Amino acid sequence: MEDYHKPDQQTLQALRNIANRLRINSIKATTAAGSGHPTSCCSVAEIMSVLFFHTMRYRPEDPRNPNNDRFIMSKGHAAPILYAVWAETGYLKESELLNLRRVDSILEGHPVPKQQFVDVATGSLGQGLGAACGMAYTGKYFDKSSYRVYCLLGDGEMSEGAVWEAMAFASYYQLDNLVAILDINRLGQSDPAPLQHHMEKYQRRCEAFGWNAIIVDGHSVEELCKALSQPRHQPTAIIAKTIKGKGIPVAEDKMGWHGKPLPKDMMDGVIRDLQSRILNTSKQLYPDMPMDDAPPVSLRNIRMPSAPNYKPGDKIATRKAYGMALAKLGRYNERVIALDGDTKNSTFTEIFKNEHPNRYIECYIAEQNMVSVAVGCATRDRNVVFAATFATFFSRAYDQLRMAAISESNINLCGSHCGVSIGEDGPSQMGLEDLAMFRAIPTATVFYPSDGVSTEKAVELAANTKGICFIRTSRPENTILYNNNEDFHVGQAKVVYKTSDDHVTVIGAGVTLHEALTAAEQLKRERINIRVIDPFTIKPLDAKTIIDNARATRGRIITVEDHYYEGGLGEAVCSAVVNEPGFMVHRLAVAHVPRSGKPQELLKIFGIDHDAIAQAVRKILSTSANAK
């Protein structure tokens, strides 16, 4: 990197002037909105001025240019000053800032990607640095480009464990293209932050995590310029001592002002004072242009090179089929990448890693950070991202998943070891809430493949489906059900067993689909015919296929799932048929917290095996006969 040249006095004054204009516009916008966080904006005014008008390289007219330096406002409540920056660059009209938080404005209360200059939504604190790690990893190892990633954090969010997961990740992978700026303004929302202004404690913590940590006066543009220009061989933390509410005399370093706009009369006086600090200078500051060295990337039409290659009667666990499918997809698509949380020999992501080691990211046992890194890797359409762990451990990262949806992120997640069918490991390892969790996310598609062929198709479809895709995979080995040339689509179920005279429609997925097929053979000997449906995707659910087939069985439906009753397959089916007259849904699911045991024992104990299905069919038919 170039040696540090101290900026001339005119440049320093121009940066101070910009900082005060950013304060003025943040205060005006929040007062106009009647809500917002002006004091949180005012503490970072010099930081934002130096970053955007001295340090960062980007094209202001093209905020998502792949060559641009990246910026993440992790302390998302300071959004007004981010908007003020983009007005200062000329990208936004200054008058638009006064529409902050209005229903007809893109300038929402916290940053969201409908704003072209925002890559990931923030506001749920502690998540920005993880996404920044994904961007920086992509820049260094996949794009091999010169762009850098800057992340601004508040001191309050430094209490979040996810921040330290990201700190550990960044130093382990030597992300020397990543800079975190910590706004140490001392005050949280309802109390001072735990370390207040003990700057050396922040420094020691950052250094212990393998970062180069530099303490600066966060209101000195000269100190900021120097710190941000230093050569780096590891990730850098700029620990900026600031005053919350700087420039607002009544609120400077005072509790009780968090999230409170200034009343109009108070605002007028504060703005006059800030304007008096803006001194004339002929210097106009413009951001430096980036180097055009990020490779062109197209993520269109990510396809498998050939059809699946399974033989009828083969047995394979869908978790293993996932790993094989992902490795195959990666063979002909060099932007397909895989992440895992130290479970790769269980999720079978190791098959991808062994074949494509340079496109595999080991995230270790830090699932929150893994999801944030995945979101960062997927920004600006740089990669097709798959991340895997046990299905149950995604519950730890639910806030990151929720924010990924708000971020309009396209990430693919595979949760293995679902349900009681994993057996002896017991309930701490069993995914029994995951369908409910992912179904509740507005942008999610939920795949639940039941054999090797449908798993391979699910992986290919997920790579080409917008939003968050979740693929639920199982531990037991099950028989191949489908021909290799079977066509699969999102939201299209398969009828896998039927006769011309079926009495009940049974809907199962994964292991319970195979149990339903065993039950069908069992009942056939009693001259009871059932129709068996594989939903393939739980969201969107193929309501038409379910309703059409259930009509043929006089509205009698049984759902059976290796999941808790709440929020899973059964409730999805109930929602789909709720308006159908004469329909009756009988649900079989896991009723309470399970225990260790052999898979088949547990399926039996919890009433979701073939015997339980057959018994439920007999009961429904007997009830119907009695009703007549």
Closest to 153 in 3D by CA, of 237, 90, 221: 237
User: What span, in angstroms and rounded, lies between the C-alpha atoms of 92 and 98?
Assistant: 11
User: What span, in angstroms and rounded, lies between the C-alpha atoms of 414 and 259?
Assistant: 39
User: What span, in angstroms and rounded, lies between the C-alpha atoms of 577 and 544?
Assistant: 9
Q: How far is CA 112 from CA 82, 122, 182, 261, 272, in A?
A: 12, 7, 21, 21, 32
Token readout for 464 is 């080409």
**Of the residues 160, 367, 408, 456, which is catalytic?**
367
Per the annotation, the verdict on 367 as an active-site residue is yes
The secondary structure of residue 588, as a DSSP letter, is E
CA atoms within 13 A on the CB side of 180: 38
CA angle 400, 406, 412 (to 5 degrees): 60
The secondary structure of residue 138, as a DSSP letter, is I
Closest to 167 in 3D by CA, of 369, 425, 412, 371: 369
User: What span, in angstroms and rounded, lies between the C-alpha atoms of 264 and 28?
Assistant: 9
- Collect all residues with Cβ–Cβ distance below 8 Å to 538 and sequence separation of at least 6: 435, 439, 446, 447, 448, 472, 509, 568, 569, 572
CA angle 407, 413, 415 (to 5 degrees): 140
User: What span, in angstroms and rounded, lies between the C-alpha atoms of 120 and 160?
Assistant: 18
For tokens 């399974």, what's the residue?
Answer: 310
Q: How far is CA 9 from CA 14, 21, 47, 282, 512, in A?
A: 9, 18, 18, 11, 73
Note the residue count of the chain. Answer: 628
User: What span, in angstroms and rounded, lies between the C-alpha atoms of 249 and 256?
Assistant: 14
* Rg of the chain on CA atoms, in Å: 28
Q: Tell me how far the alpha carbon of residue 37 is from its chain's centroid.
A: 25
- Collect all residues with Cβ–Cβ distance below 8 Å to 116 and sequence separation of at least 6: 63, 64
Q: What amino acid positions are annotated as catalytic residues?
A: 367
